[in-house]
C-alpha cells in the first residue's frame, strides 16, 4: 500500500529538524543558515524550476546515489553552485571537488534497499553511499562564507561552462551520431569476418 506523499514529506522535515541544527556552530549562524534553507515538495514547470534554481545560493543533492542527476545538471546549466554526493552518476557532473561543484565525502557503501534488480556489468548498482555529515556541513558552510566574495559564483560559472560544453544537446547529438557510426563499422567488420 502506497504511503501518502505529504506524510512522507512530513517525516523528511522532522528528520531535517533533527539534523540541520548540527550543521552550524552557534545560534547566530543557526538562524542565518536555517533562514536560507527551503524544502519544496510540489511540482513545478520547467520555467518555474529555472526561476527557483536562479535564486538559490546552491543546489544540494546529498543522496545515497543517482543514475544521472538531472536537477544537478539543470542547476549547473544556469550557473548555480552545486553540492553533491561523491558517488555514482553525480560524479559525471562534478568531477573534481571545487572545480565545478563541491563533493560530499562518503563514509562507506551499504547494500541499497528496495533495488529492483542488479545489473551484471556494474556492481555499484546495488550499493548506496553513506553520507559524511561533517563533509556536507563543511561544504554548505563554504557556500555561505564564499557567497559574497565571488568564489561560490565563480565555481558555479565554471560548472555552467562545463555543462554547456559537454552536455549541450548539439554536442550530445554529435556524440550519439559518432557512436552509432562506430557501432555500424564494428557490425560490418564482424559480418565481414564471419563471411570469410
12-53: per-residue pLDDT in tens?
A: 667 767 766 666 666 777 677 667 777 777 889 999 999 999
Asked if residue 91 and residue 33 are part of one domain, the reply reads: no
Asked if residue 117 and residue 100 are part of one domain, the reply reads: yes
Q: Is the pTM of this model over 0.75?
A: no
Give the number of domains in the chain.
2
Share of residues in the chain with pLDDT > 90 (%): 53
8 A C-beta contact, residue 98 and residue 155: yes
Does residue 4 lie in a domain region?
Answer: yes
58-91: per-residue pLDDT in tens?
A: 999 999 988 889 999 999 999 999 999 999 999 9
Pick 3 or 77 by higher pLDDT.
Answer: 77
Does residue 57 lie in a domain region?
Answer: yes
Query: Domain limits at 38?
Result: 1-42
Asked if residue 64 and residue 26 are part of one domain, the reply reads: no
Asked if residue 38 and residue 1 are part of one domain, the reply reads: yes
Kindly report the three-state secondary structure assignment for every residue of the chain.
CCCCHHHHHHHHHHHHHHHHHHHCCCHHHHHHHHHCCCCCCCCCCHHHHHHHHHCCCCEEECCCCCCCCHHHHHHHHCCCCEEEECCHHHHHCCCCECCCEEEECEEEEEECCCCCCCCCCCHHHHEEEEECHHHHHHHHHHHHHCCCCCHHHHHHHHHHHHHHHHHCHHHHHHHHHHHHHHHHHHHHHHHHHHHC
Does residue 112 lie in a domain region?
Answer: yes
CATH code assigned at 77? 3.40.50.2000
Does residue 86 lie in a domain region?
Answer: yes
Asked if residue 118 and residue 102 are part of one domain, the reply reads: yes
pLDDT at site 92: 92
Asked if residue 72 and residue 114 are part of one domain, the reply reads: yes
Asked if residue 84 and residue 30 are part of one domain, the reply reads: no
8 A C-beta contact, residue 159 and residue 97: no
pLDDT at site 5: 58
Does residue 132 lie in a domain region?
Answer: yes
Asked if residue 18 and residue 97 are part of one domain, the reply reads: no
pLDDT at site 127: 87
Amino acid at each position: 500500500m502506497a504511503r501518502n506523499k505529504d506524510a512522507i514529506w512530513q517525516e523528511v522535515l522532522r528528520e531535517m529538524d533533527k539534523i540541520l541544527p548540527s550543521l552550524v556552530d552557534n545560534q547566530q549562524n543557526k538562524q542565518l543558515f536555517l533562514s536560507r534553507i527551503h524544502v519544496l515538495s510540489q511540482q513545478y514547470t520547467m520555467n518555474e524550476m529555472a526561476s527557483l534554481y536562479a535564486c538559490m545560493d546552491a543546489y544540494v543533492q546529498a543522496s545515497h546515489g543517482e543514475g544521472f542527476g538531472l536537477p544537478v545538471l539543470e542547476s549547473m546549466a544556469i550557473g548555480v553552485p552545486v553540492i553533491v554526493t561523491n558517488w555514482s552518476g553525480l560524479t559525471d557532473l562534478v568531477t573534481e571537488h571545487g572545480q565545478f561543484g563541491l563533493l560530499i565525502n562518503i563514509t562507506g557503501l551499504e547494500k541499497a534497499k528496495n533495488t529492483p534488480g542488479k545489473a551484471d556489468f556494474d556492481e555499484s548498482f546495488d550499493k548506496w553511499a553513506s553520507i559524511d555529515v561533517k563533509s556536507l556541513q563543511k561544504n554548505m558552510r563554504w557556500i555561505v562564507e564564499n557567497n559574497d566574495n565571488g568564489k561560490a559564483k565563480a565555481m558555479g560559472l565554471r560548472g555552467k561552462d562545463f555543462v554547456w560544453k559537454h552536455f549541450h544537446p548539439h554536442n550530445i547529438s554529435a556524440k550519439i551520431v559518432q557512436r552509432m557510426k562506430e557501432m555500424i563499422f564494428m557490425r560490418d567488420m564482424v559480418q565481414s569476418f564471419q563471411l570469410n
